[in-house]
Amino acid sequence: MKRYSSIMEYLSGLESAGIIFGLDNIRSILNAIGNPHEGLRFIHITGTNGKGSVAAMLSSILKDAGYKVGKYTSPHLIRFNERIVVNDKEISNSEVWEIGDYIKGHIEGQGIDKRFSYFDFTTAMAFEYFYRKKVDIAVIEVGLGGRLDSTNVITPVLSIITNVEKDHVDYLGSSLEEIAKEKAGIIKKGIPVITGAQGIALNVIKKKAMELATPLFRKDYEFSFKKTKEQTLDFSYMDNKVYEDVFVNLKGDHQLFNASLAVCATLILKEKGLNIHRDAVYSGLARTEWPGRLEIIKGRPEIILDGAHNLHAVKALVTFMKDHYKNRKTILIFGIMADKDYESILKEIIPIANEVIFTKANTKRALSPYELANFADTCYITENVLDALKKSKNIVKDDDVILITGSLYIVGEAKKLIDEVF
C-alpha cells in the first residue's frame, strides 16, 4: 500500500502542473520505455459527451466476442485504478506501483527533464499495461480535445467522434468550428471515422476526412437508429435494418445515440477482420455498466448519480428526469467546476428541483457554492459533499428522489460517502 501511495503522490505532484497540451512530452516518455503503443491495436474515441459510455459499450461487446480488451478512460470516480481496465478488471494497486515506478525510473535514468502532465504519465502507464497484458485491442478515450491530447500518439484501426458541443472553451476555442477542428485532429489518413456530430461540426469533420482520404460514417447518413421502446433500439446501416430490439443497459435516450455509434463501430471492425458475432452486440450492450451516469444506487429514497457537467449533458439529464420522475419531489445536490458554463446549466436544471443544495467537490477547480446560490431563489449551502448528503437526508421522504449532479468529482465523492449517510 505504501508503494501505491508513493505513485499516487508522484502523480499528484504532476497534476499540480495542470494541463500541458502537445505530444512531445508523451512521446519522450514512450520512447524511454520502448514505445509499447506501437505493438497495440486501438480504437480512439473523442467528443464532447458520451466518450466514456461508447468506450464502455464497445469494450463490453468486444469482450463478449471473445477478445481481450483494454479500456482507458478518465476521470475516475473513486479509485485511480478505474482508468485502466482489461476485460472489466481494474489494474491492481501493485501493478499501478510496478508500472509507475518502471516508467519513472526510465525517465530519470535517461535524464529526461521535461515537465510532464498527469495525463501524459497515466496515458503511458495505460499503454505499457496493455502491452504487458497482451490485449487484442485497446479502447482509448481522449482526455481533452483530440489534436494535442496525449492519446493522439496512437494510430488506431478506427476513430470515433461522438458529438461536438461547446465545452472547455478556454482550451479548445469559443466556436463549434474551432472545437470541431480540435476533435477532428484524431482523424488519421485512411483510418475510418464514425461520428454523430451535426451541422457546422459535421462539416468540419467531413472536410478533414476528405483531406485525409478517410472513410466517414455519419449518423443519419451511413447509419441510423430508432427508439422502439424504453432503452431499446433498431439499428440500420446503409439503409438496411441490421439489428432489431437491441436493449441498452445504460439509461437515457442519449445512451441510445451512444449505442448506435458502438454498433456502427462493430460493423466497421468486422470489415477489418474482427469476428464480432451478433450475439455479442446484443449481450454486450445489455450488460454494459458505466458508473456515475444515470446510476440509481438506492431505492427509498431513490438516489440518482449523473456526472453531467456541460449544457448538452444536463439537457439530456433534465429530459430523463421529466420523463421518469415528473410527479416525484426532487432534491438536487449540485456542485460544478468554476470553468464551466454554470449559469446556463443552472437555468436548465433548477426548474426540475423542489429543493436545492449547493456544495463543492474537494478540488481547487470547484466553484464556491455561495456563487451558485446567486442563481436560485431559495437553497441550502454546504461546504462539502458529506454535509450536502446529510442535509438531503434531513429533508427527504421515502418517495422523494435525490439527484446528485454537476460534476464527476461531486458524483465520485458522493458515491464513496452515501453508505455512510443513508
70 and 183 Cβ atoms separated by less than 8 Å: no
User: In what helix (H) or strand (E) does residue 14 lie, and over which residues does it extend?
Assistant: helix 2-15
Q: Do residue 89 and residue 148 come from a single domain?
A: yes
Amino acid at 196: G
Q: Do residue 370 and residue 265 come from a single domain?
A: no
Q: Do residue 16 and residue 73 come from a single domain?
A: yes
According to DSSP, residue 337 is labeled B
Rounded Cα distance between 25 and 347, Å, is 40
Q: Do residue 204 and residue 247 come from a single domain?
A: yes
357: domain CATH number is 3.90.190.20
83 and 130 Cβ atoms separated by less than 8 Å: no
Q: Do residue 164 and residue 254 come from a single domain?
A: yes
13 and 116 Cβ atoms separated by less than 8 Å: no
Say if residue 9 is exposed, middle or buried (CB neighbours under 10 Å; 0-12, 13-18, 19+).
exposed
Q: In terms of residue numbers, what domain contains 51?
A: 2-287
Q: Do residue 101 and residue 74 come from a single domain?
A: yes
Rounded Cα distance between 210 and 214, Å, is 6
From first to last of the 422 residues of the chain, give the pLDDT tens digit: 689 999 999 998 887 766 777 899 999 999 999 999 998 999 999 999 999 999 999 999 999 999 999 999 999 999 999 999 999 999 999 999 999 999 999 999 888 877 789 999 999 999 999 999 999 999 999 998 899 999 999 999 999 999 998 765 555 666 899 999 999 999 999 999 999 999 999 999 999 999 999 999 999 999 999 999 999 999 999 989 999 999 999 999 999 999 999 999 999 999 999 999 999 999 999 999 999 999 999 788 999 999 998 999 999 999 999 999 988 999 999 999 998 889 999 999 999 999 999 999 998 889 999 999 999 999 999 999 999 999 999 999 999 999 999 999 999 999 999 999 99
Widest Cα–Cα separation across the chain: 63
13: domain CATH number is 3.40.1190.10
Q: What are phi and psi of 323, to 5 degrees?
A: -70, -30
Q: Do residue 236 and residue 312 come from a single domain?
A: no
Q: Tell which of 268, 287, 306 closes a domain.
A: 287
221 and 194 Cβ atoms separated by less than 8 Å: no
Q: What is the pTM of this model?
A: 0.95
Nine-digit cell string for 218: 455519419
pLDDT of residue 171: 57
362 and 337 Cβ atoms separated by less than 8 Å: no
Q: Do residue 234 and residue 369 come from a single domain?
A: no
Q: Do residue 320 and residue 200 come from a single domain?
A: no
Q: Do residue 267 and residue 304 come from a single domain?
A: no
Which residues on neighbouring strands pair with residue 141, listed in sequence order? 45
170 and 339 Cβ atoms separated by less than 8 Å: yes
**Domain tally, the chain:** 2
With CA atoms as reference, report the closest residue to 153 among 24, 15, 43: 24
Q: Do residue 14 and residue 100 come from a single domain?
A: yes
With CA atoms as reference, report the closest residue to 358 among 391, 329, 327: 391
Q: Tell which of 259, 287, 315 closes a domain.
A: 287
3-state secondary structure of 111: coil
Q: Do residue 62 and residue 169 come from a single domain?
A: yes
